[in-house]
Amino acid sequence: MAKITKANSVGEWFDQRLNTTALNKVMMTEYWIPKDINFLWAMGVVLAVTFKILVISGIFLLMYYKPDVNLAFDSVNYTIMQEVAYGWLFRHMHGVAASVIFLIIYIHMFTGIYYGSYKKGREMIWISGMLLFMTFSAEGFSGYMLPWGQMSYWAAMVITNLFGGIPVIGDALVIWIRGDFNVADATLTRFFMLHVFLLPLAIMGLIGLHFYTLRIPHVNTQTSEELDFDAEAEKYLSGNKKSAKVIPFWPVFLSKDFAVLSIFLIFYFYLVFFHFNFAMDPVNFDPADNMVTPAHIYPEWYFLWSYEVLRGFYFDILGIKAFDLGLMAFGVANGIFLAIPFLDRDPDILPAYKRPRFNIWFWILLVDLIVLTVFGKLPPEGINSQIGFVAAVAFLVIFAALPFVTRADAKARGAV
């Protein structure tokens, strides 16, 4: 192995590493990235930074929060917001980050679907990412309950009631989750433990798994499968940067990540200081009261699409109760994304615009999810219920059609 001497610059360090025969192949495959990767692939870094903001702001809030049904509401809305110096800032940072992180997760998730980056050895990347999404969802719901406002209480009542639909063990499971026959102090304490300890640990472990699975295949683009990384890297180092199809991971690729991250942080802190109310439901500024039911119960915006699938089935079908139909559809909706690598029957890794039928499928799915989200916030009455039912059924049909759509694309190209 050739000796690597002390480098005077990052560029010189790269030259020395790349000119050593023993390390040449390792460096080419691990530290060079296809040039055409766009800004959408920076969402992973944005998510990691947003999670750090959540952890740090959460630690400060934890110093003053009281997990007690008689103290929780005041500890948030009076002590933290009015008595603690900059307590309002940390609450706004935490609340806005909790909403924005789901926006970034959805962008990241649908970027992966659009580019087909869940196939050919990448299944574990996708599955670990979806497990992260589910864990973040549990973390978001458990945190939504902690202020112990009206919507916190009644959202917890609705969600825990869902477990009662599980055959045989449902009723006992509801009591076990709540720690009581009703949503009460024991429930708040359990959700507090989940939110500040158990779920953050699970998220950190899954983030580590997700990052590790990135080492299994090449970079998640079609072009990376076709590139000669050695030849393209040598072209870049020789000065032909415009014709080279790769760039160094550091500092060139990461500079793109930092640029996207900087723009995101400007957007994020604009929301924190000027539009933080979007992340805080007005009903939740009323203390929890088990004797007064809100006129309309709904979760945070990032759960609305699955909530609408749940309540979309508002009448019995073929002797099956509406509640059971909705519960089954809700379970499918929250697990079906895990199965996308196995439902997609096209063997080639291609972006959606190169798979005409899949491209139509993708945009129909996106529109349907937007419809479900919009109507999930509206009262379930009249035309709202009918549109919600159609959108919920359409969601299930869309995924049932995926194997046929992708196989048709593959046949049209002669890939199968």
pLDDT digits (tens, 9 = 90+) for 207-255: 999 988 877 655 555 556 666 777 878 878 887 777 777 878 778 878 8
pLDDT for 221: 54
Structure tokens at 19: 């000119």
pLDDT digits (tens, 9 = 90+) for 264-285: 999 999 999 999 988 888 899 9
What does the alpha-carbon distance between residue 415 and residue 336 come to, in Å, rounded to a whole number?
A: 26
Confidence of residue 102 (pLDDT cuts 50, 70, 90): very high
Q: Does domain 33-293 have CATH number 3.40.1780.10?
A: no
pLDDT digits (tens, 9 = 90+) for 375-414: 999 998 999 999 999 999 999 999 999 999 999 999 998 8
DSSP-assigned beta bridge partners for residue 248: 32
Mean pLDDT of 356-366: 97
pLDDT for 216: 63
Segments making up each domain of the chain, as ranges: 33-293, 298-416
Mean pLDDT of 113-129: 89
How many Cβ atoms are within 10 Å of 282's Cβ, its own excluded? Answer: 10
Mean pLDDT taken over the chain:
87
Q: What is the pTM of this model?
A: 0.87
What does the alpha-carbon distance between residue 168 and residue 166 come to, in Å, rounded to a whole number?
A: 7
Alpha helices for 242-321 (secondary structure H): 254-274, 304-312
What does the alpha-carbon distance between residue 217 and residue 29 come to, in Å, rounded to a whole number?
A: 11
Mean pLDDT of 195-205: 96
Confidence of residue 53 (pLDDT cuts 50, 70, 90): very high
Smallest CA-to-CA distance from 90 within 111, 110, 65, 121 is with: 65
Which of 77 and 5 is assigned the larger pLDDT? 77
